[in-house]
């Protein structure tokens, strides 16, 4: 009896072990985070659902955690294991010089991250890009004859500005505005990057210039004017998952990377803009938007 019981117990443990192997390995919980705006949050949710479909366990507590400064510290400390990163802006945040080359930005970002937090890996980036965009209402553009950013300097202090909360320390914001366009506006409100409040401030005429994402659905919906970045201050900003190396050591790396790289390959700029629109303007639930899209492209059943 005892022999049979031990054999049965051994068989049960073997079955459990095989089950663990078939669903992603160690059973490590993957802590996913993101910056706190709808586009980044929906992409993080897509990562979460794609990984869950492959048997991984996911903790979403870090989705929408805060500004890049907050999520940067979080991934370096291990508070989160991974996040969607805009590779040009991310490189700038780590002190690198970003460019219009997506591949070069990825390479340089990887070099910068290799020594951070015990090592962080950049996975495949999307065809989609989303850059910082400085946006005005059409009547403002007409009144001040604004077409490109170089047109703004002479009237900058006649305008009320809404800039991202990290703008003062972000080299692609305050520094780029000053160095390339001689822009140091005095009437500035700091709001969440690419956020609903940022768009609402422009819509309600609380501000005249707003820093939004180039894929922001409010731009098209309201007929706003994106001022051309004629000095090319904004880099190629494709999205890529960045992942702590200590997490990669705990999971089935091939399965993990394949799941996320397959997601990145399917997100072009039109798709990214639509996902953003569905959440920010359509007010649809993040999980519903992510699930519907993953099913539509055949990444989950």
Q: Which residues contact 139 (CB under 8 A, 6 or more apart)?
A: none
pLDDT at residue number 195: 84
Residues 101 and 159 reside in one and the same domain: no
Residue 98: CATH number of its domain: 3.40.190.10
Residue 218 forms part of a structural domain: yes
> What is the count of structural domains for the chain?
2
Termini Cα distance of the chain:
44
Residues 160 and 216 reside in one and the same domain: yes
Residues 161 and 277 reside in one and the same domain: no
Residues 103 and 38 reside in one and the same domain: yes
Residue 21 forms part of a structural domain: no
Residues 46 and 179 reside in one and the same domain: no
Q: Which residues contact 278 (CB under 8 A, 6 or more apart)?
A: 42, 284, 289
Distance CA 295, CA 301 (A): 6
CA-based nearest residue to 227, from 200, 196, 252, 202: 202
Residue 259 forms part of a structural domain: yes
What's the pTM? 0.80
Residue 169: CATH number of its domain: 3.40.190.120
Residues 41 and 164 reside in one and the same domain: no
pLDDT at residue number 26: 56
Residue 231 forms part of a structural domain: no
Residues 125 and 34 reside in one and the same domain: yes
Residues 205 and 187 reside in one and the same domain: yes
Residues 194 and 255 reside in one and the same domain: no
Integer angstrom CA distances of residue 14 from 10, 29, 57, 250: 6, 21, 20, 20
DSSP letter for each residue of 200-225:
HHHHTTS-SEEEEETT-HHHHHHT-E
Name the domain boundary from 226, 257, 277.
226
Name the domain boundary from 226, 252, 275.
226
The upper half-sphere exposure of residue 17, i.e. CA atoms within 13 Å in the direction of its Cβ, equals 6
CB burial string 215-242: b at 16+ within 10 A, e below: bbbbbeeeebbbbebeeebbbbbbbbbb
Query: How do the pLDDT tens digits run along the chain, 301 residues long?
Result: 333 333 343 444 444 343 444 344 457 999 999 999 999 999 999 999 999 999 999 999 999 999 999 999 999 999 999 999 999 999 999 989 999 899 999 999 999 999 999 999 999 999 999 999 999 999 999 999 999 999 999 999 999 999 999 999 988 899 999 999 999 999 999 998 888 899 999 999 999 999 999 999 899 899 999 999 999 999 999 999 999 999 999 999 999 999 999 999 999 999 999 999 999 889 999 999 999 999 999 999 8
Residue 277 forms part of a structural domain: yes
Residues 219 and 259 reside in one and the same domain: no
Residues 47 and 169 reside in one and the same domain: no
Residues 125 and 137 reside in one and the same domain: no
pLDDT at residue number 5: 34
Give the structural domain span for 217: 132-226
pLDDT at residue number 157: 96
């Amino acid at each position: 009896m005892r022999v049979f019981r031990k054999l049965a117990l051994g068989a049960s443990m073997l079955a459990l072990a095989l089950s663990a192997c078939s669903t992603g390995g160690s059973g490590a919980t993957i802590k996913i985070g993101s910056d706190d705006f709808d586009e980044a949050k929906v992409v993080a949710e897509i990562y979460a659902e794609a990984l869950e479909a492959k048997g991984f366990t996911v903790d979403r507590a870090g989705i929408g955690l805060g500004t890049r400064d907050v999520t940067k510290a979080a991934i370096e400390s291990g508070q989160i294991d991974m996040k969607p990163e805009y590779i040009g802006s991310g490189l700038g945040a780590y002190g690198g010089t970003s460019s219009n080359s997506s591949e070069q930005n990825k390479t340089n970002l990887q070099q910068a991250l290799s020594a951070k937090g015990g090592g962080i890996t950049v996975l495949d980036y999307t065809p989609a890009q989303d850059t910082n965009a400085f946006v005005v209402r059409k009547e403002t553009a007409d009144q001040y004859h604004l077409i490109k950013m170089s047109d703004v300097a002479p009237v900058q202090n006649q305008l009320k500005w809404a800039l991202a909360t990290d703008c003062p320390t972000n080299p692609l914001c305050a520094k780029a505005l000053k160095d390339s366009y001689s822009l140091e506006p005095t009437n500035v409100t700091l709001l969440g990057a690419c956020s609903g409040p940022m768009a609402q401030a422009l819509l309600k005429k609380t501000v005249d210039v707003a820093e939004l994402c180039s894929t922001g659905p409010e731009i098209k919906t309201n007929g706003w004017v994106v001022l051309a970045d004629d000095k090319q201050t904004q880099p190629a900003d494709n999205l890529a998952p960045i992942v702590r190396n200590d997490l990669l050591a705990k999971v089935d790396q091939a399965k993990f990377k394949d799941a996320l790289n397959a997601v990145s390959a399917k997100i072009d700029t039109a798709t990214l803009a639509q996902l953003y629109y569905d959440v920010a303007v359509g007010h649809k639930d993040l999980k519903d938007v992510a699930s519907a899209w993953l099913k539509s492209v055949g990444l989950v059943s």
